[in-house]
Amino acid sequence: MRFLHYSNVAKASLMMCFWLYINDSLLANPAKPTINVSINKNEVMAGELIKISVEIISKPDVKVKYYGSGDSLQSFIVVEKQRSIALINDRYKKERFNFALIGTDPGAKEIPALPFLAITPHSKQIVSTEAMPITIFLLPSDTSIPHKGILSSVPITYSIEELLPYFITVVLTMLTLLCYTYRDKLRSWRTGIQRVIFYRQSLNNLKHIANAHDAAIILPQELRNYLAGYLSIQTSASTSEEIIKELGRKQIDSHLIQKLERVLKETDNVRFAPKSDCINHQELLSISREFIISTKALS
């Protein structure tokens, strides 16, 4: 009896050691994740959506992610990828990956294996699905409808009233393009016309100055108007010295500038003198006309 008792104890001890050995081995080398795959159709038309569902069962601490690259699988185009966790507890985790593919090349094909990377705290391993056979057909053509051939062309005619709005639109568009293309030239022509008006008006106004008093009052103002309108010099708030200094930057003969400076200074002085007949208004008018005519060619 005592021998049988010792024998049973020895068996129990051996079983306990074996179980501990197996458990330690499983913890050191966790089981490979289980992978299941399903496809909605094995025969599809070209361009029809192919839906693939991959279910992976692993331990809770295992991280699984799709390990494919790009949006294509050989001759198939991946249009959608989704990942979701279907179930998780303290023993295992169930994840689902959904793929939507499109095949365009007809014939018997094979969807390649889909790789997944399983990551544990101590290791990494790749698990893959099996390759999935699939047949892709082209859309059948309906041969029951008789072929009518190419219809003969029918001439289309339009009346003048129908074409008139289009003609006006084309003309206006061309005029707009011409104006935009030559806008700089149009602006230059307009400026040239304005300069000619200033030039002629200035010479004409000088003819109305008949005496020294008019020369002292009207002449400097006419010269300032001419300089502003024809030579684009700011004169409204400038002194005679500032105007002469600005004229020096223009391509004007220095002798002309000196003569104009004399006219401006003498007319400025006579406005503060008790008598206005102390200047030779004819000489000042002659100098002013000479200046205007000589600067006609300046831009």
> Terminal CA-to-CA distance of the chain, rounded, Å?
136
The candidate with the shortest Cα–Cα distance to 259, out of 244, 273, 246, is 244
Residue 149's pLDDT is what?
58
Instruction: Report whether pLDDT(6) > 70.
Output: no
The residue that leads in pLDDT, 13 or 89, is 89
Residue 98's pLDDT is what?
92
For residue range 64-105, list pLDDT tens digits in order. Answer: 888 887 777 888 888 888 888 877 777 888 899 999 988 888
Overall CATH class of domain 34-137: mainly beta
How confident is residue 169, by pLDDT bands cut at 50, 70 and 90? very high
- Provide the residue type at 134 as one letter: I
For residue range 229-268, list pLDDT tens digits in order. Answer: 777 787 777 888 888 888 888 778 888 888 888 888 888 7
For residue range 178-205, list pLDDT tens digits in order. Answer: 888 877 776 777 766 777 777 788 888 8
Most confident of 26-30, 139-143, 221-225: 221-225
Angle between helices 160-181 and 183-206 (to 10 degrees): 70
How confident is residue 146, by pLDDT bands cut at 50, 70 and 90? low
Residue 21's pLDDT is what?
46
What is the spatial distance between Cα 204 and Cα 183, in angstroms, rounded to a whole number?
32
Residue 151's pLDDT is what?
61
- Of 73-82, 115-124, 262-271, 281-290, minimum mean pLDDT range: 262-271
The candidate with the shortest Cα–Cα distance to 263, out of 206, 195, 198, 199, is 206
Residue with tokens 């990828």: 81
Q: Beta-carbon neighbour count of residue 32 at 10 Å?
A: 11
186 CB contacts (<8 Å, ≥6 apart)?
179
Residue with tokens 């684009």: 232
Phi, psi of 289 (to 5 degrees): -65, -45
**pTM score over 0.85:** no
- Of 1-10, 164-173, 271-280, minimum mean pLDDT range: 1-10
Residue 142's pLDDT is what?
56
Domain ranges of the chain: 34-137, 183-294
